[in-house]
Structure 1
Amino acid sequence: MNRTLLRGATIVSMAPGRPDAERADLLVEDGRVARIGERLDSAGADLVDLTGRIVIPGLVNAHLHTWQTGLRAVGTNWTLMQYLGHMHGGGAERFSPDDLHIATLAGALNQIDCGTTTLGDWCHNSLTPEHADAGVAGLTRSGIRAVFFHGTPYRDPEEPHPLTEIDRLLHGPIEAASLLTLGMAVQGPQYCYPDTAVADLRAAAERGLVASFHQSGGEPEGGWEAVRDAGLFGPLVNIVHGSDMPDAWVGTLVDAGATFTSTPENELGQGHGTPVIDALLRHGGAPSLGTDVDSVAPGTLFTAARIALAHQRGLDHAKHLDIGMPALMNAVTAKQALAWATVAGAKALGLDDRVGHLDAGMQADLVAIDARGLNLWPAHDPVAAALHADIANVEAVMIAGRWRKRDHRLLHSGLDDIKERLRASGERLVQTVLEE
């Protein structure tokens, strides 16, 4: 039996029924959390002293297009319309399978470095089966836990999702990868005809797969009603962005069990519309979080969580000021924001029975935050300190009981070669993207 005992840390488990923070040991056995408690028996275990650290569940980045990693920051000043024109107006079709592979590998490794242990990788540039396989291989090689959301470039609104490819992946490359599951990145009712949207979501439901689709601004039209009337909105449906969605629709979707993923930094910066977070909270829901595209915004989920929290608090303060009375306390807490980046992300990806919080039986996906750093010390409130962390504080990352980062260093061979391949790919692609 493979045993690791983490001793001396402050545990922020995010588990129901446990304290917000507790000084305790955490025992890992064969890839799972076996026990959390005081002075656990260390016999036969690899003992790791984490005094001065805060251990949290691994972050869940529920929406990221890793295939764009090689184009980092090229679109930082783009609006949404410029992004769509440059990236999807012809640039995406220039990617080779090798380009997609190295971008996915490097992007996933960066997520681990930043404290993400589970990734919703929305690969809507699977131009061919070879492209899809290259993406899956990149995720597998990185060691991250991920849902590979198979998607294609924007298609004719009458054209359904390629189910032969979904079934090939499901019973082939994905089945062979222990840390990967499959999802469907469908066009959704905003971008295809009602019958197509219904067919795609029904196909995902029949296979037990999460179907995720984009929605940014605009009144939901006939396709949404068709999906609702077919009874297909439920826990296996994930809406990305949901910006400016009418309140009644948010309530309908929350009641049906559908999940939302907000990517607040690029939503606010590019002009997607107002993030859906306020409406979700009013209807008893909660957002999961993503960083969306490294070509536009950095891939640090801690930053996304803090932006989401600050934006929501800003809205709350504005509401109070509108009636002439400042808020006497914040309605949204740091723990809620951390839950958006962990618990809610796991739920959105259909993995909440495995990851998102730390408790006996859960997968040992966790992050050790070095709270001795000058930017966090003294850590009077461990939950807030965890939320205030950044990559410099991410000392160690464990996925399924295996260390993927230790002593502030990724444990992955060939990083220099990966960086060089990413540079060469990005330099070739950036010119074609900017030409569009």
Structure 2
Amino acid sequence: MNEPTQPAGRGARPAPGAPVVLRNATVLTMDDRRTVLRDTDVLIIGERIEAVGPALAVPEGAFEIDAGGGIVLPGMIDTHRHMWQTAMRGYGADWTLTQYFVWYYLQHGKHFRPEDVYAGNLLAAIEAIDAGVTTTVDWSHGLQTPQHADAAVDALEEIPGRFVLAYGNIQAGPWEWTAAPEFREFVERRFRGGDMLGFQLAFDVTGDPAFPEKAAFEVARDLGAPVTTHAGVWGATNDDGIRLMHEHGFMTPGTVYVHAATLSTDSYHRIAATGGSVSVSTESEQSCGQGYPPTWALRAHGIPVSLSMDTSVWWSGDLFSAMRATLGADRAREHLQAHAEGQTVTHTHLRAEQVVEWATRGGARALGMDDMVGSIEPGKKADVVLIKNEHSPVMSPILHPYGHVAFQAQRGDVHTVVINGRVVKHEHRLVDVDLAKARRAVESTVEHLRGALGDEAWAAGMNPDVPETKILDNPYTYTDFRTAATHGG
């Protein structure tokens, strides 16, 4: 090792494969003790973190980044994002969950072509890395054909982020599409190992006593693929689905239960006992109606938590807002419950450091990647984010680093993003990413969808009336099963 080199000039970019060192940062290591290190360097060589400490000596030719006055933390991890829907960013800002089901599940979701899935995934992938989200689960339940699936993966492989394709298809029963030979051929053809693109199966369990989803779980087991499922969603999935999964032995440590907002104590016990985790999408749950964000219940039952943003059809595509909303929702409930009992909360139970952990290492644990990413420690893969903005009055002073990340920082403060040792964003600008191409693809998708629906339906869809027919009985078009929990028992 040589003496430290001079900091890189503004606008400079590292040479391919060159070591990278971030100097003099406040480092949130997210190790087992949630250690905070001041005036600390992080040295990256190849794909991994080589060293963490003050005034590190670095190899000749290392690319230096002045991180003084900034916060370095592990790359954030989003465990549930419907990336294929990103072309419709903001379209459903005033939707309820029912209106989402009507639009995507029952009416217009079938209009998406493979190229539309590609466009949504491409823009979503760029959006993720721009916001410091280095690993994203593409909860891709719009894969009506293998061609749609190929398009989804094509987009993910084009962007230098870490992704997990959670394969799903809301237009057919999971016991049907998982049994198709072309599905198995797609998996064998596109997933050849490596840690930049993972694989899950994404489907829901309706609670039908016949448990037709059993066949899909068996395929997942055969493939060695974890299952991610929307559980505890008002009007769609309930405790019966959890019970059926448990009775048939399909609840595993790798299972990710999304939302889990309307479950009973018994269901939470089953999740805790089998080692599963819950992906909480607080902005989604508190806005569109899955149920109250369940972090209070998950903490009470010792269930691991990760965070997700769900879909850009409603909300922002970053985890800063997810952390902020999660703290707000959990604390609001704690205060309201205390007030109802004539009490006052003097010390909040959910702390900023916990939600920052959920947004980073919590996601790594949920995806079985904790030995690889999720913390700033030597030997881990170099998925690292620097939050620093000399032009923002919000980024000074930094007194409580965890609180600053959770409540003060935002997407515009993401200065540098390193994924797998590669600098993909620096000085607030993406590196070697063609955003213009993604915008053109999305414009084409919007034009197609608007044409397929017609101008009147397109405009009405932004604030649709609920049809008079009893569409609330069940959002899933592939089953006739009804229960009281789906408004038609």
Give the TM-score of the pair, scaled to structure 1: 0.94
Q: Does 1:405 align with 2:405?
A: no
- Superposition pairs for residues 172-251 of structure 1, below 5 Å? 172-175=189-192, 179-187=196-204, 189-190=205-206, 194-215=210-231, 216-217=233-234, 220=238, 222-251=240-269
CA–CA distance in structure 1, aligned partners of residues 180 and 98 of structure 2: 30
Flag the 1:163–1:211 CA change in 2: closer, same or farther, 3 A.
farther
- Corresponding residue of 1:41: 57
| Residue 6 (structure 2) aligns with | none
Distance of 2:370 and 2:209 partners within structure 1: 32
| Aligned-partner Cα distance in 2 for 1:111–1:157 | 28
Q: Which has the larger radius of gyration?
A: 2
Counterparts of 1:428 and 1:157 in 2: how far apart (Å)? 28
* Deviation of the 1:46 alpha carbon: 2.2
Counterpart of 1:149 (choices 156, 159, 166) is 166
> In structure 1, which of residues 108, 115, 124 is the aligned counterpart of residue 125 of structure 2?
108
Q: Distance in 2 between matches of 1:4 and 1:157?
A: 45
**Within 2, Cα distance between the matches of 1:163 and 1:348?**
28
Does the CA-based 8 Å contact 1:20-1:383 persist in structure 2? no
Matched, 1:294 2:295: no
1:26-65 aligned within 5 A: 26-44=42-60, 45-65=62-82
Structure 2: 5+ residue stretches without partners: 1-16, 462-489
Query: Is structure 2 residue 369 aligned with structure 1 residue 351?
Result: yes
Q: 2: distance between equivalents of 1:39 and 1:147?
A: 36
Letter of the 1:38 partner, please give it: P
1:430–1:358 distance in 2 versus 1, CA, 3 Å: farther
Instruction: Answer yes or no: is 1:92 the counterpart of 2:109.
Output: yes
Deviation at 1:230, TM superposition (A): 2.3
Structure 1: gaps of 5 or more residues: none
The Cα of 1:248 is off from its aligned counterpart by 2.0
In 2, Cα distance between equivalents of 1:310 and 1:17: 24
How many angstroms apart in 2 are the aligned matches of 1:108 and 1:306?
22
- In structure 2, relative to structure 1, the CA distance for the partners of 1:191 and 1:133 (3 Å cut) is farther
Q: Which stretch of structure 1 is more off in the superposition, 405-414 or 119-128? A: 405-414
Q: Is the 8 A contact 1:371 1:385 kept in 2?
A: no
CA contact (8 A) 1:106 1:419 kept: yes
Does the 8 Å contact 2:89/2:312 carry over to 1?
A: yes
Task: Compare 272-281 and 112-121 and name the one that shifted more.
Answer: 272-281
Shift of 1:170: 3.4
Per-residue CA deviation, residues 166-194 of structure 1 (Å, 9 max, x unaligned), is 5334332222765101111123x226665
The answer for the alignment partner of 1:120 in structure 2 is 137
Aligned: 1:369 with 2:394: no
Distance 1:313 1:300 in 2: 21
In structure 2, give the amino acid aligned to 1:341. Answer: A
Q: 1:338 aligns with which of 327, 346, 356?
A: 356
Amino acid paired to 2:255? V
- Cα distance in 1 between the residues matched to 2:320 and 2:113: 32
1:380 lines up with 2:399 in the alignment: yes
CA distance in 2, matches of 1:243, 1:165: 35
**Aligned mates of 2:29, 2:85 — CA distance in 1:** 32
Q: 1:124, 1:185 within 8 Å by CA — same for their partners in 2?
A: yes
Q: Deviations 1:305-326 (Å, cap 9, x if unpaired)?
A: 1101110011111222222221
List aligned pairs for 1:301-320, cutoff 5 A. 301-320=319-338
Does the 8 Å contact 1:140/1:177 carry over to 2?
no
Q: How many residues align?
A: 435
| CA–CA distance in structure 2, aligned partners of residues 413 and 337 of structure 1 | 30
1:246-284 CA deviation, whole Å, 9 max, x = no partner? 122112212211111111112111111112211100011
For 1:193 and 1:119, locate their aligned partners in 2 and report how far apart those are by CA, in whole Å. 33
In structure 1, the partner of 2:275 is: 257
Inter-partner Cα distance in structure 2 for 1:412 and 1:419: 15
Alpha-carbon separation, structure 2, partners of 1:176 and 1:203: 18
Q: Provide TM-score, normalisation by structure 2.
A: 0.84
Distance (whole Å) between structure 2 residues aligned to residue 425 and residue 303 of structure 1: 27
1:356/1:324 Cα in 2 relative to 1: closer, same or farther (>3 Å)?
A: same
Deviation at 1:236, TM superposition (A): 1.6
RMSD, aligned CA: 2.1
Structure 1 CA distance, aligned partners of 2:243 and 2:387? 45
Q: Is the 8 A contact 1:190 1:221 kept in 2?
A: no
Structure 1 position 62, deviation (Å): 0.8
Q: Which residue, out of 249, 266, 276, partners 2:284?
A: 266
Q: Indicate conservation of the 8 Å contact 1:159/1:196, yes or no.
A: no
Moved more, 299-308 or 225-234: 225-234
- When residues 163 and 7 of structure 1 are mapped into structure 2, their CA distance, relative to the original with a 3 A threshold, is farther
Aligned-pair CA distance for 1:386: 1.7
Q: 1:154 to 1:194 in 2, by over 3 A?
A: farther
Which of 412, 415, 420 is the matching residue for 2:440? Answer: 420
The question of 1:429 aligning with 2:449 is answered yes
Deviation at 1:141, TM superposition (A): 0.5
Q: Is the 8 A contact 1:120 1:349 kept in 2?
A: no
Q: Deviations over 1:14-60 (max 9, x none)?
A: 11145234331111111111121122111322222211111111111
Asked whether the equivalents of residues 48 and 378 of structure 2 are also in contact (C-alpha less than 8 Å), the reply is: yes
User: How far has the Cα of 1:295 moved from its partner?
Assistant: 0.9
Q: Which residue of 1 aligns with 2:9?
A: none
Change (3 A) 1:275 1:384: same
